[in-house]
Amino acid sequence: MRLLLVEDEKDLNRQIFTALTDAGYVVDRAYDGENGHFLGDTEPYDAVILDIGLPKMDGITVLEKWRRDGKAFPVLILTARDRWSDKVQGFDAGADDYVPKPFHMEELLARIRALLRRSTGHSTNELSCGAVTLDTKSSKVVVSGECIKLTSHEYRLLSYLMHHQGRVVSRTELVEHMYDQDFDRDSNTIEVFIGRLRKKLGLDIIQTIRGLGYLIAPAGVSALQS
């Protein structure tokens, strides 16, 4: 899952970035409102963490512009302001959640997980497909009761497919949501990781839909049945 972090405080930006990447997310960063707005306007994100008090363009203005332009990704507002009127302003601008500074990093991670669950139609941290279970809180993957070890890229790929279980996901979409904006999108790494995942899972749950992309579904369920 790919996130955008827009925070001008460099130390806090670094701390959040580290926590998110350690949790298995791909994170693009911006330090001011103008660059943050540009990234959100031109790149596909699964969720955005947005500070209100930004230089060049404040967070409320950034959010309002995104919503006017039809950007529907969930947005979590970060701010040092704790007045109820600021919270109302953020929600009215289109925010989905609100965390005042200072905050505990675990709370921020939990709120991001909740935003992603709601946006993809899931109600718990555990995603299941047949005998495969992925826990988004612990980043563990279990197959038939046995925990298997995945690389960070393999985990990101499996996580994105399982968040969109039953839907054909194109190679382009996978690349856009697994890597940052500087990634070489003409590479064949997706195909390589798909092959590795199939081998490690040991189950026939990732289907190649010729000319369209990939579908994850329980073994024995075809694209036509899903």
Q: Looking at residue 72, what DSSP letter applies?
A: -
pTM of this prediction? 0.85
Q: What integer pLDDT is reported at residue 222 of this predicted model?
A: 58
Q: Nearest 10 degrees: CA dihedral of 80, 85, 86, 90?
A: 150
pLDDT tens-digit readout, 127-155: 999 899 999 999 999 999 999 999 998 99
Q: What integer pLDDT is reported at residue 63 of this predicted model?
A: 97
Q: By percentage, how much of the chain surpasses pLDDT 90?
A: 71
Q: Classify domain 2-120 by CATH architecture.
A: 3-Layer(aba) Sandwich (3.40)
Q: What integer pLDDT is reported at residue 48 of this predicted model?
A: 98
CATH class of 126-216: mainly alpha
Q: At what angle do helices 10-22 and 105-120 cross, to 10 degrees?
A: 60
Least confident stretch, 42-51, 89-98, 117-126: 117-126
Distance from C-alpha of 208 to C-alpha of 191, rounded to nearest angstrom: 10
Domain with CATH 3.40.50.2300 in the chain: 2-120
Domain with CATH 1.10.10.10 in the chain: 126-216
